[in-house]
Amino acid sequence: MLSSPTIAIAPAPLHVLPSTDPPYKLLQSHPSLALLSKCRSTRTLKQIHSQIIKTGLHNTQFALSKLIEFCSISPCSDLAYAVLLFESIEQPNHLIWNTVIRGHSLSDSPALAIDFFVRMIVSGAVPNCYTFPFVLKSCARSGLAPEGRQVHAHILKRGLDSDVFVHSSLISMYAQNGDLEGARLVFDKSSHRDTVSFTTLMTGYALKGYMDDAKKLFDDMPRRDIVSWNAMIAGFTQCGKFDEALETFRKMQRKNVLPNESTIVTVLVACAQSGHIELGKWVHSWIKDQGMGSNLRIVNSLIDMYSKNGDLEKARSMFDAIQEKDVISWNVMIGGYNHMNHHREALELFREMLLQSHVKPNDVTFLNVLPSCACLCALDLGKWIHVYVDKNYKNCTSTSLSTSLMDMYAKCGNIVAAEQVFRSMEHKSLASWNAILSGSAMHGEVERALELFDEMLNEGFEPDEITFVGVLSACSHAGLVEFGRKNFTLMVDEFKITPQLHHYGCMINLLGRAGLFSEAESMIRSMDMEPDEAIWGSLLKACRIHRQVQLGETVAQNLFKLEPSNPGAYILLSNIYAEAGRWDDVARIRTRLNDVGMKKVPGCTSIEVNSVVHEFLVADKAHPQSEQIYKMLAEIDGLLERAGFEPDTTEVLYDIDEEWKEGALSQHSERIAIAFGLISTKPGTTIRIAKNLRVCRNCHSATKLMSKIFNRDIIARDRNRFHHFRHGSCSCKDCW
DNA sequence: CCCGGTCGGT
């Protein structure tokens, strides 16, 4: 029995097929081919293939084209197998050529379809009106505009441009390659413009954001079908014109055009992105009336709409009610948690997906989970995903997935792994450069960040505003005033980027810390926008460092106005007074602080041990191992004292609305997390923690000493940047 | 018997 298909199709010389097939109606209903529609795995595919060989069907072009078609576009596609089949045929007919070109045009590497097209012509086979739509699609999908124009020349030579399918495919190809003039020319020259050609050109305009032109075509077209309406709604949605999108939807209903599944999905996207939750709810009840309430695509879109609008409970209850969840159901729910900063829930649901569902995660799943890993410093889970991706996607990992992995490593404290991923990437996007650049900046690797910036410019990448946030924050972390000024000018003059608050924030921080107050003030005056709390905040910090009492008072007033209930400004100002010996003013601020009833953001530190993320608050006793943790804390205090550590109590004010007690400083959340890390990991292991606020001075000094006493690398992420503690010192060189 | 345009998750 021929159980091995490779043996079956590999023999030389090549398969010579009879020039004509038996009547196709006989073939079409053949039981062996009917089996294909039920085939779900490569194994059964191979069995069916053997069947086809046994019954002699493999001597027909029809059966082979069906097999190739199935291998190349079914859910369990295996393009390599399709090519193997194809190569075994000596003189493929049109159908076979078309099928193999179509298979490649829909694959991950659509450019290969063009290679087959060239081979087809060289072999003397004549492309027909079925061939060109596939070839044009691959020119569009692979972005090969010159090749697209050459194919257009072929079409004209063969007089096939009057075929409606070829005609609309041409418009689509030009439009998707961004050549709207080309698309318009094809459209204008034709005398057989149908609804599809109109809609295709209209979509081309919409894609570029030219909604006025799109609207004009829409109004001018003789007949509109449901796809035309949907395309118009989608066009408005994609360029953020949600009101117009929803208005078009209402108009279509007034004209008694019945929305279909795609319409609903598109409208729900508009509701999700624009926050029109009331309309979303109305659409939901309308869907129920229409009996579409159990359509999985629609339910998935509803979950997305509810979760993006903050109603996670409604979203979750709909998610739980789905009997047969698909990968998108999982992705939207995980993505919803991630979007609303419910990172723990995102990771928990991801675990549940792996353990309790039969749905395999895909790249979008990871794109939704990785930012949550990054936020919680869940490095083990992030690494697991990396290994999984390498194993399951081999060398076809997308640029965005690699970028997301890189970002995760950088934010979890492993900048070396981030750089490794970066170097291994074949295609880098601007986002990839931005991620590695700001990663290096976050880790205080300033020279590296500036090197990377030069490198990306040399490779011809055009930096954007995010790039410059990375560059300028690198300069500000290292106090490189001259570089900061230079790059700020470069950004504005060379790259014509209007500075945003973030950029000014970096500059003010940099100038303030260097004591260049008049330059900082004149920069603030030059801004087109109102300074935000970050800008005043960094200036106030600078006032404290340089003991600028008078300026500090003015700056603090600005902060009080912006954030009346944030205690940070009061604390900084009282520190400034304290350091100037103005105790009356200190007392006055403290009273005010107590009167206003500040909303203090509780300090919270997370640490991952054995793939589980643990979170600790100040003086937290909720952890099951609390008793051991506090024993360890006491031991640490003793060791610190013996090493000559003196608590720096200048920032005790941070605890002003805590019940102040002896030892409060050693109960800051980062200390508890480190103590937990020390008792639950092997000696010598690196400890990684992530804190939601900035590390206080006292904890910073204590942690430096702890890294020496326990001989551990401690990598701490605070709200701003990373601190790598090692052998008693910190990578930030005490300047943060 | 294989052809075109809209549509969800970054």
Residue A658: pLDDT band by 50, 70, 90 thresholds?
very low
CB of A24 within 7 Å of some strand B atom: yes
Question: Does the pLDDT at position A657 exceed 80?
Answer: no
Which position has the higher pLDDT, A27 or A12? Answer: A27
Beta bridge partners of A577: none
Which position has the higher pLDDT, A703 or A51? Answer: A703
Residue A403: nearest nucleotide (C-alpha to C1'): B10
Per-residue model confidence as pLDDT tens digits over A583-633: 888 888 888 877 776 666 778 898 999 888 899 988 888 899 989 999 998
Residue A166: nearest nucleotide (C-alpha to C1'): B4
Q: How far is the CA of A40 from the C1' of B1 (A)?
A: 23
Please report the pLDDT score of residue A245 as a whole number.
93
| Alpha-carbon span A575 to A541, nearest angstrom | 10
Give kind and range of the element (H or E) at residue A543.
helix A533-545
Cα–Cα separations (whole angstroms), residue A332 to A75, A281, A349:
21, 18, 11
CB of A400 within 7 Å of some strand B atom: yes
User: Which residue's alpha carbon is at the shortest distance from the C1' of B3?
Assistant: A130
| Alpha-carbon span A381 to A347, nearest angstrom | 9
How is residue A244 written in tokens? Answer: 């117009």
| Alpha-carbon span A171 to A491, nearest angstrom | 38
Per-residue model confidence as pLDDT tens digits over A301-333: 999 999 999 999 999 999 999 999 999 999 999
Which amino acid, A533? E
Q: How far is the CA of A455 from the C1' of B4 (A)?
A: 43
CB of A265 within 7 Å of some strand B atom: yes
Please report the pLDDT score of residue A454 as a whole number.
93
CB of A190 within 7 Å of some strand B atom: no
CB of A292 within 7 Å of some strand B atom: no
**How large is the average pLDDT for residues A6-11?**
41
Per-residue model confidence as pLDDT tens digits over A349-403: 999 999 988 899 999 999 999 999 999 989 999 999 999 998 887 766 788 999 9
CB of A429 within 7 Å of some strand B atom: no
Strand B bases, protein C-beta under 7 A:
1-10
| Alpha-carbon span A411 to A435, nearest angstrom | 10
Place of tokens 């004010």: A653
Q: Annotate A452-466 with b (16+ C-beta within 10 A) or e (fewer).
A: bbeebbeeebebeeb
Per-residue model confidence as pLDDT tens digits over A83-123: 988 998 888 989 999 999 999 999 888 999 999 999 999 99
Residue A643 half-sphere exposure toward CB, CA atoms < 13 A: 19
Strand segments, DSSP code E, in A170-244 are: none
CB of A307 within 7 Å of some strand B atom: no
Which amino acid, A467? T
Q: Annotate A311-344 with b (16+ C-beta within 10 A) or e (fewer).
A: bbebbbebbeebeebebbbbbbbbbbbbbbebbb
Residue A327: nearest nucleotide (C-alpha to C1'): B9
User: Which residue's alpha carbon is at the shortest distance from the C1' of B4?
Assistant: A165
CB of A586 within 7 Å of some strand B atom: no
Question: Does the pLDDT at position A580 exceed 90?
Answer: no
Helix, strand or coil, per DSSP, at residue A420: helix
Which amino acid, A640? L
Question: Does the pLDDT at position A653 exceed 60?
Answer: no
Q: Report the sign of the C-alpha dihedral through residues A144, A146, A151, A155, in that order.
A: positive
Residue A300: nearest nucleotide (C-alpha to C1'): B8
| Alpha-carbon span A169 to A144, nearest angstrom | 15
User: Which residue's alpha carbon is at the shortest distance from the C1' of B1?
Assistant: A24
| Alpha-carbon span A80 to A64, nearest angstrom | 15
Phi-psi region of A394 (alpha: psi -120 to 50; beta: other; left: phi over 0): left
**Taking every pair of C-alpha atoms in chain A, what is the biggest distance, in angstroms?**
104
How is residue A453 written in tokens? Answer: 């910036």
Please report the pLDDT score of residue A10 as a whole number.
42
Beta bridge partners of A606: A615, A690
| Alpha-carbon span A283 to A262, nearest angstrom | 13
Which amino acid, A598? M
Q: How far is the CA of A175 from the C1' of B3 (A)?
A: 19
Q: How far is the CA of A128 from the C1' of B3 (A)?
A: 10
Closest listed residue to residue A641, CA positions, set A592, A591, A700, A702: A702
Neighbours of A203 (CB within 10 A): 23
**Domains of chain A, CATH where assigned:** 518-599 (1.25.40), 604-730 (no CATH)
**How large is the average pLDDT for residues A507-518?**
92
